[in-house]
Structure 1
Amino acid sequence: QLGRCRSVKEFEKLNRIGEGTYGIVYRARDTLTDETVALKKVRMDNEKDGMPISSLREITLLLQLRHPNIVELKEVVVGNHLESIFLVMGYCEQDLASLLENMQTPFSEAQVKCIILQVLKGLQYLHENYVIHRDLKVSNLLMTDKGCVKIADFGLARTYGMPPKPMTPKVVTLWYRAPELLLGMTTQTTSIDMWAMGCILAELQPHKPLLPGTSEIHQIDLIVQLLGTPNENIWPGFSKLPLVSQYTLRKQPY
């Protein structure tokens, strides 16, 4: 409840460290505990009716989720106005995207295994609790200076059930987007996170994205080049996907 929230003035902003799906992130010091935290300012652009639904979803989910490989939401604090809301989160020294960009030597096979195992443990916990992240990518995987990897940025995450409810397919950053999303499927399951995980695994050792598409049609073409042209035998229901008729897929052996 906002009436019980602490003030953001109790936190000393140290520096800006990035920008998530729905807000700017700062490194800050909690003046009461002297702890270093991440302070995420909730973006309120053009919001006449209060907090964006995406931020409410993220807060609600993160308050329920507790796992060593998922970023921790410690509390919600407020600024001078009710429109100024911040999430206080556990601080991680870097994200995997920056790490990949700045490393002189590639990750070893053992390091890749260690990173992927941690992400899979976090993902297993999410899926067991009926949550799909829907935006897994290297920039949303954070790492502490002790090597603990945490899944972050739950702005696009959703809970799911059976049967799955329709959701927008325009989620997941293009390079990590599953083929069923590119072809217009609106019912989403844990499989879209698992596809993104495969793309992340393939990116960690060579330090370059597996499928760096520049458009949706290019992304589909890269997938077909790599895995072959899908058909009903290997992908039951493929021909009924909403956008299949709009694309002419190259003939590539499976």
Structure 2
Amino acid sequence: MAEVDLESDQIRLKWIRKEGFFTVPPEHRLGRCRSVKVFEKLNRIGEGTYGIVCRARDTQTDEIVSLKKVRIDKEKDGIPISSLREITLLLRLRHPNIVELKEVVVGNHLESIFLVMGYCEQDLASLLENMPTSFLEAQVKCIMLQVLRGLQYLHRNFIIHRDLKVSNLLMTDKGCVKTADFGLARAYGVPVKPMTPKVVTLWYRAPELLLGTTTQTTSIDMWAVGCILAELLAHKPLLPGTSEIHQIDLIVQLLGTPSENIWLGFSKLPLAGQYSLRKQPYNNLKHKSPWLSEAGLCLLNFLFMYDPKKRATSGDCLESSYFKEKPLSCEPELMPTFPHHRNKRAAPAAAEGQSKRCRP
């Protein structure tokens, strides 16, 4: 299998196919891997940043899990660095609102590696697409508080998710919300090292990323939190840009034109001089959400600060008066249940195609 040597953010990988072991640093050693054959694949439920995900049953324990195949399509040196990062990060994380990596299993071929994850019945993107009405505000608060608790745990452990969006938020049939898909997540330190700005799905991408910053902090996750909160409340995406230029324009239309006065260092961003931003002196967030309380608007404005250093943290959000005013958050157990459309077995013809796609 693979032996991993981690030095800071640099990952050197060597393939060692030996007795079915997956070797990682001693503090996160997995031991002997089981075969993927012990899992009965039930149906395909999605596709993460770096792998196809199936619902499966552990035939030895009867537990239902998510089985994510690691993509190694064009790799010559073993596991892709992105997948290796996801594995090493998830092995460190244990929190009720973070998806759990249970184990790594292997197939018959060198390139067949699967992550066994805790199973959640729904993802929020599918729910938003299929729900006839919006979530109630108490339900939105229940979801967001769980997202924020998981995010606070990540950030306290110096991890940036870098791809927060509704499709990466999963929910169990007991109302527990878990953040998933850590293919783009990175550990960071002080001082912050340069990272590629080509992260975070466009609709949730912070303005500093759109303007080419190479230093990233937890504030990029918090901008995405603001987009998610607004989307859950309105039952539609807040900033559905079609290109990076369009995305910047939508942000300016909503929040006004950024300047050095409100965003220290704005003029020095790599792409700041390449865009001709429209002159928009007003913040239109209140006009966009006229039904939201003053506390709710205050929280959104805090999350949408142009200056990343002034943006709300997860801890700030958890202490926000928005979550302390009526309607109060409902308990997770009281969240509505939905038809488990992800649990449906595929029709025979479709099942054959899905099994081929999930086959080791």
- 2:273 paired residue number: 245
- 1:122 paired residue number: 150
The gaps in structure 2 that reach 5 residues or longer are 1-20, 23-30, 283-360
Task: Show the 5 A alignment for 1:53-132.
Answer: 53-132=81-160
Alignment of 1:39 onto 2:29: no
Separation in 2 of the partners of 1:129 and 1:42?
Answer: 25
Alignment-mate amino acid for residue 177 of structure 2: V
Alignment of 1:143 onto 2:171: yes
Deviation (angstroms), 1:82: 2.2
SS in 2 for 1:229: coil
Separation in 1 of the partners of 2:110 and 2:103?
Answer: 16
Separation in 2 of the partners of 1:18 and 1:226?
Answer: 32
Of 214, 222, 225, the match for 2:253: 225
Number of residue pairs the alignment of both structures matches: 254
Deviation (angstroms), 1:4: 1.0
- 1:163 paired residue number: 191
SS in 2 for 1:205: helix
Separation in 1 of the partners of 2:127 and 2:192?
Answer: 36
Deviation (angstroms), 1:148: 0.3
- 1:210 paired residue number: 238
Alignment-mate amino acid for residue 106 of structure 1: S
Of 172, 187, 190, the match for 2:200: 172
Identity %: 87
Bigger radius of gyration: 2
Deviation (angstroms), 1:98: 0.1
Deviation (angstroms), 1:67: 0.2
Alignment-mate amino acid for residue 109 of structure 2: H
Separation in 2 of the partners of 1:5 and 1:195?
Answer: 39
Task: Return the TM-score normalized by structure 2.
Answer: 0.70
Separation in 2 of the partners of 1:6 and 1:17?
Answer: 22
Separation in 1 of the partners of 2:77 and 2:119?
Answer: 30
- 2:342 paired residue number: none
C-alpha distance after superposition, 1:152-209 (max 9, x if no partner): 0000000011111000000000000000000000000000000000000000022110
Alignment of 1:16 onto 2:35: no
SS in 1 for 2:234: coil
CA RMSD in angstroms, aligned pairs only? 0.7
SS in 2 for 1:77: strand
Alignment-mate amino acid for residue 39 of structure 2: F
The gaps in structure 1 that reach 5 residues or longer are none
Separation in 2 of the partners of 1:105 and 1:231?
Answer: 39
Separation in 2 of the partners of 1:221 and 1:15?
Answer: 40
Alignment-mate amino acid for residue 114 of structure 1: C
Task: Return the TM-score normalized by structure 1.
Answer: 0.99
C-alpha distance after superposition, 1:184-235 (max 9, x if no partner): 0000000000000000000002211000000000000000000000111110
SS in 2 for 1:4: coil
